[in-house]
Chain A
Amino acid sequence: MQVKPLELGTKELMDIYYLMRLGRAIEDRLNLLYKGGKLPGAIYLGTGQEAIEIGASYALEEGDVLAPTHRDMMSQLPRGITPREVFLQHYARANSLTHGKGEDNYQGDLRRGTFATVSMLPNFYPVAAGAALAFKLRKEPRVAMAYCGEGATSVGDWHEALNVASVHNLPVVFVVINNGYAYSTPVYKEMKVANVADRAVAYAMPGVIVDGNDVVECYREAKKAVERARDGGGPTLIEAKTMRMRGHAGHDSATYVAKDIIDLWTKRDPIVRFEAYLNEKGFLNEDSKKEVIDRINAMVEDAVTFAEASPYPEPKEAIEDVYAE
């Protein structure tokens, strides 16, 4: 097992930069396709959340499992989910990871350690805890990580999952992306506590707040939590403070968010910030940046072309695979 270091070197940092840029490019392209009426379904974008999306799941190792929500496509990129797979899923093609059955952003692949989520959130918090239970029972040094937004923390499953995971000391990391809004509902209508992480006290586990737009911090805290879980230290709750920079879904122009809030968070863009950091370290310059972006654009082009040329499922497949053999 390749264990990533707590303090990342050039190779990993550039890998993360590539993944953040890739995530942004995929989402920008999805947004255009959606606006142009090219996609059969909806889009749920995590634009502006690249730092926590990729920073946290990057801390997982091979054999670990990730339970994202449908806003967390980018978190699956470090698990090896490819641009082609993302577009195939949105285009509902036969060769997508869910064979045209699961909707737009609900791709997953167990073999690469990432679940295909459901719409009810945070339903995969218990599922991730269950994977962690299996690891514990079999004495495997594996960790589960689950994502959700702050809105999902109002649901009973969230509290049940944290409680059970703590009682049974399970190797699981709970990541909450506090992006300000659950659809149109702002945080202050969602909870009375100042921080989601404050609730960790109730479950006797560490509650960590990270700057959700600082990928290095997101990675570092996630890495500590993952290795703590792997070492038998039990679950951790990580709250990433960030902002949802687009609407809840593609149809939602999010006019309920004040423009100055968006302006403020635009200045905190996690990719721009990370570029400044890499630049300062001497890892990135305009040429190497252009090289990354060009490579990504070509990949995204290829993925869209590939998805559009891929076949739809046969209609009769609608009634197949309801049950396992």
Chain B
Amino acid sequence: MSTPSNRMPASGNVNGGGRRETKETLFIDAITEALREEMQRDPNVFMVGEDIGTYGGAFKVTKGLLEQFGPERIIDMPVAEEAFTGMAVGAALMGMRPIVEYQYADFIHCAWDQIVNVAARIHYRTRDAVPMVMRAPSGAGLRAGPFHSQSPEGWFAHVPGLKVIVPGTPWDAKGLLKAAIRDNNPVVFFEHKYLYRRLKGPVPVDDYACHIGAAKVQRQGTDVTIVTYGAMLQTALAAADKAQEKGISVEVLDLRTIYPLDKIQILQSIAKTGKAIMLYEDTRTLGIGAEVSAIIAEEGFEYLDGPILRVSSPDAPIPYSPPLEDYFLPQVDDVMAAIDKLSAY
């Protein structure tokens, strides 16, 4: 498991089942559909960002939206993340529901001040809602180097007043984006760019929204739980397949929402398996895995049959060269090593 293409097993599609009518949809198309449907549904929804109009966005997520909704609702902005994030706050306070697109999650940092000091600090003081969504393509695996690969969800999850979502499937990408647009709070929505055109899965054809703050068991198991989210869901599922060959039953819990965290499902799964692996693409120290580990240690200690293990990226910037990036990113073998270690308990 060393190249990015290996990270996406053919069996990576999840969320199927049930009698609901679905359509196989690419991760990126699920997002575009959510944007289109919500803009059709609510005239207050509009988008700002760089190159989102004629060009269709850096990743073409907004392709076709300008033609459908016009330049008054698909608004190209100058290279000014602070300004157009602050403007989204102002428009939201005036009753609009703006969606901000950042070209890469790495560039959402340029708007840090407006997100943290303005957007997240309004309702607490004046009880005025700030309904806005900040969409940012995050994640590594594309040989994009230190400035186009980051997973900054942990920083934003640490800011009271923000909700943070990282979907791992097309189903959830669409359903959670719709929920985010309908939410009355500033929501940071990270779209793993590696999944955009590589992950296809069933998406309901009817109108639906997922519940923000609910995790989802993507694979049932009894021996060990992997808590993960985003593109690492695919790595977890691949590891679970491999473990099955060895007779180890792995449960995969997809957080889907980073804040608020679904404590109940985390603890339920650990109560069942007694063993916990945190798998996350963000750097190790003070990442989401650290927080989930703390929750388990504080509230699920008696369920544990072994140590809580973290499989994550190391505390380093994300390197460009393929062997460096592959070493940097958590791989299926790393997860297997953690599973094997826990099997000894």
> Which A residues are closer than 8 A to B by beta carbons?
65, 97-99, 101-102, 106, 108-110, 115-116, 118-120, 123-135, 137, 144, 156-157, 160-161, 163-164, 167-168, 321-325
Given known contacts A118-B118, A134-B95, A99 and B125 CB-to-CB distance under 8 angstroms? yes
Pairwise interchain contact B128-A164, C-beta atoms closer than 8 A: no
Most A Cβ at <10 Å: residue of B73, B86, B89, B90: B90
Q: A126-B89, A157-B83, A322-B124 are in contact. List 17 more A-B contacts (CB 8 A).
A: A98-B125, A99-B125, A101-B125, A119-B117, A123-B86, A123-B114, A125-B86, A126-B84, A126-B86, A127-B118, A128-B90, A130-B87, A130-B98, A137-B46, A323-B163, A324-B123, A325-B184
Pairwise interchain contact A130-B86, C-beta atoms closer than 8 A: yes
Binds A, one of B8-16, B74-82, B137-145, B302-310: B74-82
Pairwise interchain contact B113-A123, C-beta atoms closer than 8 A: yes
Pairwise interchain contact B86-A127, C-beta atoms closer than 8 A: yes
State the interface size on chain B (CB cutoff 8 A): 43
Residues of B contacting A321 with CB < 8 Å?
123-124, 127
Pairwise interchain contact A322-B78, C-beta atoms closer than 8 A: no
User: Quick one: closest A residue to B116, CB to CB?
Assistant: A120
**Which of B87, B89, B126 is A108 in contact with, Cβ under 8 Å?**
B126
> Which B residues are closer than 8 A to A by beta carbons?
46, 72-73, 75, 77-78, 80, 82-96, 98, 113-114, 117-118, 121-131, 160-161, 163, 184-185
CA distance A134 to B90 in the complex (A): 8
Residues of A contacting B126 with CB < 8 Å?
97-98, 102, 108-110, 116
**Which of A102, A132, A156, A168 is B82 in contact with, Cβ under 8 Å?**
A156
User: Quick one: closest A residue to B163, CB to CB?
Assistant: A323
CA distance A101 to B117 in the complex (A): 14
Pairwise interchain contact A324-B84, C-beta atoms closer than 8 A: no
B284 to chain A, nearest CB (A): 28
Most B Cβ at <10 Å: residue of A101, A135, A160: A160
A203 to chain B, nearest CB (A): 11
In the assembled complex, 19 residue pairs joining A and B whose CB atoms fall closer than 8 Å, in A order, are: A98-B126, A99-B127, A109-B126, A116-B126, A124-B86, A124-B118, A126-B86, A129-B86, A130-B88, A131-B90, A133-B87, A134-B90, A135-B94, A137-B46, A137-B96, A160-B80, A164-B83, A322-B124, A324-B123
